[in-house]
């Protein structure tokens, strides 16, 4: 090995050791490197190289969630940016020049592609209600119960009453829509940009007072329909910083003056214009996690903040439950999706779990009102 390669390996190993991670250790969260080019690739490409090299089998780790928990808790992702500035430059330039989440490309966006992966695949990974967002584990002991409790938590925060009209922006496979209509007696409309989701959501909501439309949320601005309540669960991450204000204007336009809007979103500790390069390329292209500052600016002059609830650690449990289901059912999908997909999906689920465990990212539920609740809002937990 050349002196340069030895130096690079030493630098990477020393950096990882500050997070109590060894490159040839025997603990579950340690790395086992199989390819000599791993260290060069990591320095050259940052997180993109880390993820790609894992998917290609250049390294392994028994507990990826533990690895990422330690990596992010030690803020090594920030030091990696300085080690590999070029790896992040293209994403930053693209976000500054373009609007990746523009309406003209919404139906071919990464979000639409991701959710169109196949309903059978998601049925095997998710709960029985097909909720692809964080569950609420305060009293739950199973994934099904955590997701049901999350939906009830939202309904109670919105004080749903029979006959209310409810709009769900980003309705997924219709799980919340069906829950709210059948258990709380509301009338619902859900919108989604995924054809696969829309088809199954319509099937699941057949016979109840719920409608599902395949449409971009921005087109709601042209509607004269007004709603008592609006909810958006796990969709805001796909909106993009350039469109946050537009999203909030659409929600305000559709909400009655005395209504409530609940936003359920992943949140980050810093204001970014672009996503992690690996996630942007392979999992959720064009998705960006919002910050407190970005959300605050987007609602200024449009909504009053009634409640802000952070239960990010519950997403760690949710992701690990999804991962267990994914591992258990993988034999059903191997022939169709292939072994490379297996490593990619394992990396995705466990790295996200580690990020929530490290409090690097969060899960926020915001309750917003157009004019403020007279006498104040009664928080629900």
* 8-20 residues labelled b (16+ CB within 10 A) or e (exposed): bbeebbebbeebe
Residue labelled with tokens 């609420």: 136
Query: Can you tell me the distance from the alpha carbon of 183 to that of 372, in angstroms, rounded to the nearest whole number?
Result: 27
- The β-bridge partners of 310 are 364
Q: How many CA atoms lie within 13 A of 68 on its CB side?
A: 23
Q: Are the beta carbons of 227 and 165 closer than 8 angstroms?
A: yes
Which of 120, 137, 161, 157 lies closest to 335 in space, CA to CA? 120
Query: Can you tell me the distance from the alpha carbon of 184 to that of 210, in angstroms, rounded to the nearest whole number?
Result: 12
Alpha helices in the chain (DSSP H): 3-17, 38-55, 64-73, 76-83, 85-97, 110-115, 119-125, 143-157, 175-184, 195-204, 244-254, 277-282, 292-299, 313-337, 339-357
Q: What is the DSSP letter of 290?
A: -
In 3-state terms, what secondary structure has residue 361?
Answer: strand
Query: Can you tell me the distance from the alpha carbon of 323 to that of 301, in angstroms, rounded to the nearest whole number?
Result: 41
CA-angle at 249, arms to 110 and 364, nearest 5°: 60
- Taking residue 120's Cβ as centre, other Cβ atoms within 10 Å add up to 11
Active site residue 379: no
CA-angle at 207, arms to 205 and 212, nearest 5°: 35
Q: Which one of 61, 205, 352, 379 is the catalytic residue?
A: 352
Query: Can you tell me the distance from the alpha carbon of 367 to that of 231, in angstroms, rounded to the nearest whole number?
Result: 9
- What stretch of H or E contains 56? none
Q: How many CA atoms lie within 13 A of 297 on its CB side?
A: 10
Query: Can you tell me the distance from the alpha carbon of 151 to that of 180, in angstroms, rounded to the nearest whole number?
Result: 8
Query: Can you tell me the distance from the alpha carbon of 52 to that of 48, in angstroms, rounded to the nearest whole number?
Result: 6
Query: Can you tell me the distance from the alpha carbon of 137 to that of 111, in angstroms, rounded to the nearest whole number?
Result: 26
Report the catalytic residues: 352
């Amino acid at each position: 090995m050349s002196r340069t390669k030895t130096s690079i390996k030493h630098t990477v190993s020393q950096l990882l050791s500050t997070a109590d991670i060894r490159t040839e250790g025997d603990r579950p969260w340690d790395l086992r490197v199989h390819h000599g080019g791993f260290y060069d690739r990591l320095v050259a490409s940052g997180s993109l190289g880390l993820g790609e090299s894992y998917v290609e089998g250049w390294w392994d780790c028994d507990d990826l969630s533990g690895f990422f928990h330690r990596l992010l808790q030690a803020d090594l992702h920030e030091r990696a940016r300085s080690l590999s500035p070029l790896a992040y430059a293209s994403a930053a330039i693209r976000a500054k020049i373009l609007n990746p989440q523009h309406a003209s490309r919404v139906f071919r966006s990464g979000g639409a592609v991701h959710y169109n992966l196949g309903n059978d695949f998601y049925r095997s990974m998710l709960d029985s209600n097909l909720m692809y967002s964080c569950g609420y584990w305060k009293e739950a002991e199973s994934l099904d119960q955590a997701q049901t409790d999350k939906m009830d938590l939202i309904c109670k925060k919105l004080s749903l009453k029979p006959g209310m009209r409810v709009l769900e922006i980003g309705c997924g496979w219709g799980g919340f829509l069906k829950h709210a209509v059948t258990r709380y007696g509301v009338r619902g409309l859900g919108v989604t940009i995924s054809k696969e989701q829309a088809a199954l959501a319509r099937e699941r909501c057949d016979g109840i007072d719920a409608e599902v439309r395949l449409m971009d949320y921005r087109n709601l601005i042209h509607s004269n329909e007004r709603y008592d309540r609006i909810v958006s669960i796990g969709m805001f991450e796909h909106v993009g910083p350039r469109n946050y204000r537009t999203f909030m204007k659409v929600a305000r336009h559709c909400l009655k003056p005395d209504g409530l809007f609940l936003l359920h979103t992943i949140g980050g500790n810093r204001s970014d214009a672009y996503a992690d390069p690996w996630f942007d390329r392979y999992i959720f292209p064009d998705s960006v996690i919002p910050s407190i500052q970005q959300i605050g600016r987007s609602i200024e002059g449009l909504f009053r903040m009634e409640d802000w609830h952070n239960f990010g650690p519950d997403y760690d449990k949710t992701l690990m439950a999804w991962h267990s289901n994914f591992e258990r059912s993988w034999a059903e999908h191997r022939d169709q999706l292939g072994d490379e997909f297996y490593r990619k999906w394992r990396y995705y689920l466990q790295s996200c779990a580690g990020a929530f465990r490290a409090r690097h990212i969060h899960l926020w539920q915001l309750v917003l009102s157009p004019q403020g609740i007279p006498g104040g809002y009664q928080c629900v937990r």
